[in-house]
Structure 1
Amino acid sequence: MKSFLCLLTITFALFALTNATEVKKCSKSTARALTPDEVTISSCPENKCTLKRKSEASIEMKIKPERDFSELNSDIQGIILDVPLPFPGYYGTSACPYIYDAEGKEKVGCPLKAGETYTYKNTIKILSIYPAVSLVIHWGLGDKQGDAVCFEIPAKIKA
C-alpha cells in the first residue's frame, strides 16, 4: 500500500511539473527567482503560452520584495530575436493599482514592505496589431533601483 501511495504521489508531482508554466529568472535582475506555482497566466497551462490576438490574458503572481518599494512600475516587453519591444499601454505604467494582499482578496496598492507577501493581479489585452510570432515575454515590476520581481516565459502570439 505504501508503494502505491508513493507511486501515486510521484505521478501527481510529475504531472504538475509538466503542466506548469515555464518561468525563467530574468538574466539582468537580482530579484528572487519565482517558481511556477507563484505565477499563473491564462493561456499558459503548459510549457509555452499561446496568446490569441483580440483576446485578454490574466496574470496573478506572488511578490515578496527583499526591500521596501514606495512605487512599483511595470516593465513588460516582448523579446523577438533578442530585441525587446515594450507592450504598448503597459510598459512603464504604475503596478500599484494591481497589488493585493497575500491572499489576493483586498487591494493594498503601494508601498510594499520588505519580507511581506503580496499578490499582483492584472489583465493585458493581446492587440490585433501584435504580430503572430514566437517570443519571450519579459515581466518585471520594480523601480529605478531594481526589481521586486521579474520573470520571463516563452510564448506564441497567434491570429
Structure 2
Amino acid sequence: MIVVDGQLINNRSCASVERHWRMAAGSVAAVNRGVSSKSDVAMVPLSVLACFALLALAGATEVLQCAGENYENLSDNVQLSPCKKPPCKLKKGTDQHVVITFTPDHDIEEVKNHVSADVFGVNLPFVGVDGNSVCDKLETENGEKATCPLKAGTKYIYKDSFPVLSFYPTIDVKVHWAITDTQKNKDVTCFEVKAKIRS
C-alpha cells in the first residue's frame, strides 16, 4: 500500500485500472509518432503508472550496480527469466521470475523489497512488489527453507515471480531492485536493469 499524489494505492485499486493503462499506452504511441510530448504523457495519473508490476528474470543476467554500490559478482547472483542480457523483454501475459543470491555481512531481523521503475524520468514504486517482506521466500544454498532473522555470512537465495499483465503499455523502463535491512534502512544487495514491456 502506497500513497501517490494523495491517492491511496493498493492491490484492489490496481485491479481496476485497465482502461487507464490503455490511455497510457495511447500516450506512449503518440510520443513515438512525434505528435505528443513528455508533458502530454505526464497527464496519465501517477496512480496508474504506480500500479505497474513487472520484472523479472533467467540464468545469470547482466545487471548494473546501483549508484554508489559495488556488490561482488553482482550479475552472477541475479537471474531474471527469461532474460540473460538487457534490455529484458517482458512479454505481456506471461510470468517473470527472479532469483537473487545474497550474503548479509551482519545479522538482520527482517528484509524487504524496494522495487521501483524510472518511467519518463519519474521514479515509481511497483505496487504488489515494493515494500514486501521477502522473509517467506528464502532458501539456503542447499535448497532448505529459510526465514528471518538472517545470519551474517550465510548465503541466501530469494525466489519470486510476477505477472506482466496484458493491458500494460508497451514501454521502456529502468528497474531498480534492492533487498533492504528494514531496521538499518540499508541495502543488503541492489541492482538496476533496463527492460522493455512488449506484446
What is the TM-score when the length of structure 2 is the normalising length?
A: 0.64
Among candidates 52, 56, 59, match of residue 91 of structure 2: 52
The one of the two structures with greater contact order (alpha-carbon pairs below 8 A, sep at least 6) is 1
| Structure 2: distance between partners of 1:31 and 1:67 | 17
Task: Give the Å deviation of 1:77.
Answer: 1.4
| Structure 1: distance between partners of 2:72 and 2:116 | 18
Unaligned runs of 5+ in 2: 1-58
What's 1:10 paired with? none
Task: Give the Å deviation of 1:98.
Answer: 1.1
| Structure 2: distance between partners of 1:56 and 1:71 | 26
Where has structure 1 moved over 6 Å in runs of 4 or more? none
Question: Are the aligned partners of 2:176 and 2:192 in contact in 1 as well (CA < 8 Å)?
Answer: yes
Question: Are the aligned partners of 1:21 and 1:48 in contact in 2 as well (CA < 8 Å)?
Answer: no
Among candidates 112, 124, 129, match of residue 150 of structure 2: 112
How many residues end up aligned between the 2 structures?
139
Task: Give the Å deviation of 1:38.
Answer: 1.1
Task: Give the Å deviation of 1:131.
Answer: 2.1
Question: Are the aligned partners of 2:60 and 2:80 in contact in 1 as well (CA < 8 Å)?
Answer: no
What's 2:164 paired with? 126
Task: Give the Å deviation of 1:130.
Answer: 2.8
| Structure 2: distance between partners of 1:120 and 1:74 | 10
2:146 aligns to what SS in structure 1? coil
Among candidates 140, 143, 153, match of residue 101 of structure 1: 140
| Greater Cα offset, 141-150 or 56-65 | 141-150
One-letter amino acid of the counterpart of residue 181, structure 2 = D
2:107 aligns to what SS in structure 1? coil
With over 3 angstroms needed to count, the CA separation of the structure-2 counterparts of 1:20 and 1:148, relative to structure 1, is closer
**Cα distance per residue 1:88-108 (max 9 Å; x no partner):** 2111111111111023x2220
Task: Give the Å deviation of 1:135.
Answer: 0.9
Task: Provide the aligned C-alpha RMSD in A.
Answer: 1.9
With over 3 angstroms needed to count, the CA separation of the structure-2 counterparts of 1:63 and 1:42, relative to structure 1, is same
1:97 aligns to what SS in structure 2? helix
One-letter amino acid of the counterpart of residue 108, structure 2 = F
